[in-house]
Amino acid sequence: MFCIVWSCGPDPIPEPEPSLLISPANNDLCTTASKVNDAESQVRFQWTAALHTEIYELIVQNTQTGQQYSKQTSLLSESLILPMGAPYRWYVLSKAILTPAVGQSESWKFYLEGESNASYVPFPALLLSPKNEAIIDKTDKGVYTFQWEGLDLDNDIDHYALYLGTDPDALSLKKDFISEQRTDLTLTPSATYYWQIVTFDKEGNQSTSLVFSFQIN
């Protein structure tokens, strides 16, 4: 005599999907913001609906100071009052009550214009290579190429500086006055390195990128 037992578990809970960002547009000057006072403006953020999502969390970061602002909403738009004359990046997290999984949108950049005669601070450089937490094979001559992407709404970037070290809290200046968005360094293998790019414009403004790590086998 055979007995077959069927067991049906609950359907898996679908994870929230990422939203698509609408405005402020990527690399926008954000001139449509509503001025609140001489130092601040109100910026309206918009994004598309995401599947399997109940709550959206708007994250905005001043990339010059590192200060972060956030708001949760069930709507597809939200407004924040932000200091003018600074570069920002923003993204949206999609959340649901029954799952800890989170969907994350792309990250977009914008500059919140201040005084009309003010110069724009460069956006922090986007580090391209080596990628964060990359594992790299050693080269015959021990020479490694670093690449990044810089952006300034004034188009007046003057130069870059590359900082590198084995301690993320104690990086050393390895190359200064780099005119291009790439450079080569000779490194010792079998080590984990951390690197960062500082961007300077012709008005003396500067911005600092994130710190990325990579390992050389």
Contact 129, 147 (CB under 8 A): yes
Cβ-Cβ contacts under 8 Å for 83 (sequence gap 6 or more): 39, 40, 62, 112
Q: Which of 112, 146, 165 is the last residue of a domain?
A: 112
pLDDT at 64: 85
Global confidence as pTM: 0.78
Kindly state the percentage of the chain with pLDDT values over 70. Answer: 94
- CA pair distance 105, 97, nearest whole angstrom: 19
Q: What is the dihedral of CA 64, 196, 212, 66, to 10 degrees?
A: -10
pLDDT bin (cut points 50, 70, 90) of residue 119 is confident
User: What residue numbers bound the domain in which 183 lies?
Assistant: 123-216
Q: Is the pLDDT of residue 4 over 70?
A: no
Co-location of 150 and 202 in the same domain: yes
Co-location of 108 and 134 in the same domain: no
Co-location of 106 and 160 in the same domain: no
Co-location of 127 and 209 in the same domain: yes
pLDDT tens-digit readout, 59-117 = 999 998 889 999 999 999 999 999 998 999 999 999 999 999 999 999 999 999 886 65
Co-location of 37 and 101 in the same domain: yes
Co-location of 106 and 128 in the same domain: no
pLDDT tens-digit readout, 17-46 = 999 999 999 999 888 899 999 999 999 999
